[in-house]
Amino acid sequence: MSFWELFLIAVGLSMDAFAVSVCKGLSVKKVEMRHLGLVGLYFGGFQALMPLLGWLLGYRFEAAIASVDHWIAFVLLALIGGNMIRESFSEDEEQSDDFGFRVMLPLAVATSIDALAVGVTFAFLSVRILPAICLIGLTTFLLSGLGVWIGFRFGSRFQAHAERAGGIILILIGLKILLEHLGILSF
């Protein structure tokens, strides 16, 4: 998998965290650097941890399902992407200006569940996991901090668009993986 494919996956995965970060930015009266850093650390950290856990699971069972790994990657990415698109059309969630552990931990876990599934596909595709999780974590860290600032500055205008774009990116990458493995596409 190329750097640019990994980067697009990182951006796609970070869109849930970005959307929640925009909401966090909407909730504050005055945005502070600690808000940007906390959101970035929680979301970026979990977006890096979850694919590692998924990769460990997938690597363990790779031999048993190697003949269908491309289908698994496609289905997982399509489901994750489709769910992100569906969620982008739902009503806005309640906004809280609390950045404490009890609020941020569940948000970080919830926004990174899809990264666990992507980690499983990384194992099937023999992706070098350390650079991948570093790129995903860093991308999410930066986009989450940016999301807080955008939410504070511009409001909720971009939240649904960001989530839809992330979903479309993941679906297209899954389709590309499938078509390449089936010999229909070659890059």
- What is the model's pLDDT at position 41? 97
37: helix, coil or strand? Answer: helix
Give the per-residue pLDDT at 187. Answer: 58
Whole-number pLDDT of residue 76? 73
pLDDT at 94: 52
- Give the per-residue pLDDT at 34: 93
* CA neighbor of 81 nearest in space, from 117, 39, 119: 117
pTM: 0.72
- Mark out the alpha helices in 89-128 (DSSP H runs): 101-124
Give the integer Cα–Cα distance in Å for 118 and 27: 30
Reading the chain (187 residues) residue by residue, the pLDDT tens digits are 889 999 999 998 898 889 888 878 877 888 899 999 999 999 999 999 999 999 999 888 766 766 776 787 788 778 877 877 887 787 655 556 778 888 888 888 888 888 888 998 898 888 999 999 999 999 999 999 999 999 888 765 666 777 677 678 778 877 887 888 788 877 5
Using the CB atoms, write b or e for 70-97: b if 16+ within 10 Å.
bbbbbebbbebbebbbeebeeeeeeeee
Q: Within 10 A of 120 (CB to CB), how many other CB atoms are there?
A: 24
Domain residues of the chain, as ranges?
3-181
Residue partners of 84: CB distance under 8 A and separation at least 6: 12, 15, 16, 114, 163, 164, 166, 167, 170
The DSSP 8-state label assigned to residue 93 in this structure reads P
